[in-house]
Structure 1
Amino acid sequence: MRLRRLTYVLLALAAGLLLWSCASIGSPEGGPRDYTPPAVTKSDPKPGTVNFKGNKVKINFDEVVTLNDQQKKVVVSPAQKNQPTIKSLGKTVTVEFNDPLLPNTTYTIDFSDAVQDNNEGNRLENYSFAFSTGDSIDTLQVSGIVLRASDLEPMQGVVVGLQSNLADSAFTTVPLERISRTNDKGQFTIRNLKPGRYHVFALNDLDNNYMMSRNEDYAFIDSIVVPRVARFTSQDTVFTFDRRVDTVFTGHHTEYLPNNLLLSMFNERYTPLYLKKTERLGRNKLLVQVSGPCTPPRLDILSPAVHDKDWYCLQSRATNDSCVYWLTDSSLIKSDSIMVDLYYDKTGPDGVTAQAHDTVNFVLKKSTAELKRLKEEAKEKENMEKDLRRLQEQRDKLVAAGKDPTEVDLNMAAIRKKEHEKAATTFKMAMATKGSMLEVTDSIAFDFDTPVKHIDQSRIRLDVMDPVDSTWSAVATPGLQVAGPYDILHYTVPMRLEPEGVYRLTVDSAAVASIYNYVNDSAQFNFSVRSLDEYGYIVLHVNSGDKAFVELLDGSEKVVRTARVQQGTVRFDNLVPAQYYARLVIDSNGNGKWDAGDYARHLQPEEVYYFPWPAKLKVRKSWGMEESWNIYEVALDLQKPDKIKRNKPEVKKDSLEKKKNSTGDENQDNDDEFNSTGFGRNTYSGNKYTDYQKNRR
């Protein structure tokens, strides 16, 4: 009886607590965040429909959807001349074709990850829809990755396509037959292919004609690709709690091959040559710009007719596409108009480059401020000449009267001195190496604002301080040397500086004269050289062979140092402590620089490799590191460190939320920010990376 009463009491208490909680006022919880992407509920026509006769596809989803960046992400293959109209409304996405559909053709609408739900932005990954206008639907597919050849950046949003026309000219004359676009990791899949033999291309299609132009980025595979299907089995084992085999399941799988295509994208740097710009840069400079590397343009003066034979100094880049002609003839400098016959390299309609000729008038354009200054200078000169004439008349009168003209002579001399000082000027020389602390790898360098005519090397002295008694002693130098044949404003003192050295460079006044006979003011430059104890070194043992060089890079991927591989080893000494990265170039032609490919010659770009992440090249003071580098050990798409990668995969909103929920901090610094795993099950099978694919499975 007591037990029954106790039961009644407990039930009453529970009911009371329930009623109290129901009466409490509070905010309802929103529940867990939705990470589920939209799901297809139905479509018209159905996926895989054959003998399709319409011109519109409608796809319904289980929630309201939007299309993200559809112009770049949604691809219809075969490509249409007039782009289909693609739009979303509520839970429906509609694709309406504006061109007649080809007969007996399988069509693919590849949405990539453009479809997302309207509320949370969850994306439906790798979604595609296919139908056929014939009796059957094609099902083969190929996949791979596109990387920029020069620096292994994943190429995002570029067109990848196939051609069954195997003629070399097809890439430049016939639109690609089946196309897709790369995703944010540079990966691609071309679906619904017929059995056959194909050439594969990638293209940054600037003119949207699906054919290669020489000014576009492109990539090609030398061999013929044959899509095929491979079937294989796998086994999964279920164990009991005591680790005995319970059940063995056998799975049957289908794999579409090849799924490991690697396309190295490059730009030929081809530019048709044409005259880009001519301009007079003030009184003493003429500018001529051509669209690309060329021989220096030739200028023949037509007027003024009277001028010196050697009337200019040429300043140019190594490519000669931008040339400045410094005038040295005073008659040309004074002339407001200079007419020339201009001869330059120009590419004709047939693609052949030949010398072209134009007549150009270089007219001096005077700004309002310059006109005002010239007017003031003319007025000042006129007043000065009046004062001199007046003083000369006074002097003549004094001499005629037998009086002493000394005071008048002094006044006239003062005016002439002022006029001379105004006309005479110096030109600037500035030390190009910034700061007073130099690295042991630095050289003494100067920049001038006007071309140099003469250097008196005896008036330039370099002294070094004795560390014991702090006295100065002279150091023998090769003197100031011009940096290059046309780099006429940059000079160096090519000599080795001693570590911990304290130097003083003295340049006497008038040691350097410009082409206009201006001279420098006296100057003194004091600087020190860093101690060897503040540096480190890196030694890399590479399996590339010696026909290669390594570029040491900083955190912004700027080249810090370059060295050739010698007997399988490359060494970098005297490195400032920092985090470095390394890029190796297989220098096939031995010219010391990376070279692009050439489709017309079936020439692939030179191969590039990165010292792979997560290994680090971190230099510390008085410390060195020695590493072995197997350039094939890590698949190519995983080699470049994420920290210097520019084309990083897009961080999707749902991934960021999941990361925050799992770690409590969406900004947590993980080594692999994007959880990279490499592309494909056997990426790059059949090339140099095959032996290392077991590390990727």
Structure 2
Amino acid sequence: MTKNTNPSKSLFFKSIIVLALCIYGCASMRSPEGGPIDKTPPKILKMEPKDLTTNFNAKKIVITFDEYFNIQNESREFSISPEQERPPLLKKDQKKLEIIFQDSLEKNTTYTLNFGNAIADVNESNVLKNLTYAFSTGPLLDSLTISGRVTNTLTGKPVLDATVFIIPLSRDSIFGKKRASISTSTDSSGLYTLKNLKKDTYKIYALKENGGDKIYQQRSDEIGFIKEPLVLTKNLDSINLGLFKELAQEFRILDRKFNQDGSINMIFNQKLIKPELTILDNKTVNESKILRFSKTNDSLKMWLQDLTFDSIKVEIKSNGKPLDTVQFNRERKDTYARTLLQTDNIEAGILNPYRPLRLIFNFPIDKIDQTKIKLTEDSIPKTNFTLIKDQKIMPSEGYDGFYMALIKRNA
């Protein structure tokens, strides 16, 4: 077949970083401005009607905060229990949050509005965690609670921001398919409390997720639960849950892709132990490959320098044990474009003098010609810096930027 001679291929391990670095030669270095960073979330000044109101008959609820705020991820974070066919509308009005009911309310029923992490201030996005509002349309308010701690089963340490939720036993079939409407999050000590609950029988779960949709995803999320249902007739405390990663029994490749830049992505359903990948039928391609596994060893990206093959067989091993062999094919007409992309930590053209300049690339960088790098401070050339090829980094998604270039000012 015709040999692939795409000239951009030669850029793969050459000094392409130099051009990107030179672009930032004129970045200003300036001391940070302003006072201390605001780390305080919005505070509630008033609720109308008041929280825990009985004989509730209002058409809307108004919550007033001490500062301007945003509503984040409303569809994921906000819920009402019992659920309504048409959920309430959330509306911002200056520093006020209006919750407008679209459906009628049932008689003699306690409702709980759970805002999760939906409310955050405008400037720093500080989240007001676990905001709830409860009311009863009758004279009595459900007031039972379930509380406890969530820990990681491997480390025994408390888990921050795990979602704890309960589902009435009669509706437990929604688990993994739909968000639970009765939930809360753990604090830094792993503690949680579910409030304003009615007498019922529940299943309880804890979830530490990556996606943020509050729906269990086996590949990425950690789960904890108690097998036996909780019969809630009085307050329950010390209902402790341990999080673990559910392991698949048999190894499978969930996804594999031959990318347009000549790299290969693979995703597995297991975390591998001391993972290995070998190209069995092409020694040249195998020896010149660049391989990066994710931190959890359940996915990888492989760059191929030699793209002259018709097909390759790839063997995957875990702890020395062969798991699977897959084949990747190339067509004669296939061409590959390798475009160097990078991101940095420069904000509005200003480089913080207390931080190194970081350039993150979408390809591994082999060589850097430091003599061609120009760095100026207030138009004055600077040579007292070092250039470091950082350790590989593997984002949870995207695979961009396995190498980071750092420029540090010498003391």
Q: TM-score, normalised by structure 1?
A: 0.30
Higher Rg of the two aligned structures:
1
Structure 2 length-normalised TM: 0.47
Structure with the greater relative contact order (CA < 8 A, sep ≥ 6): 1 or 2? 2
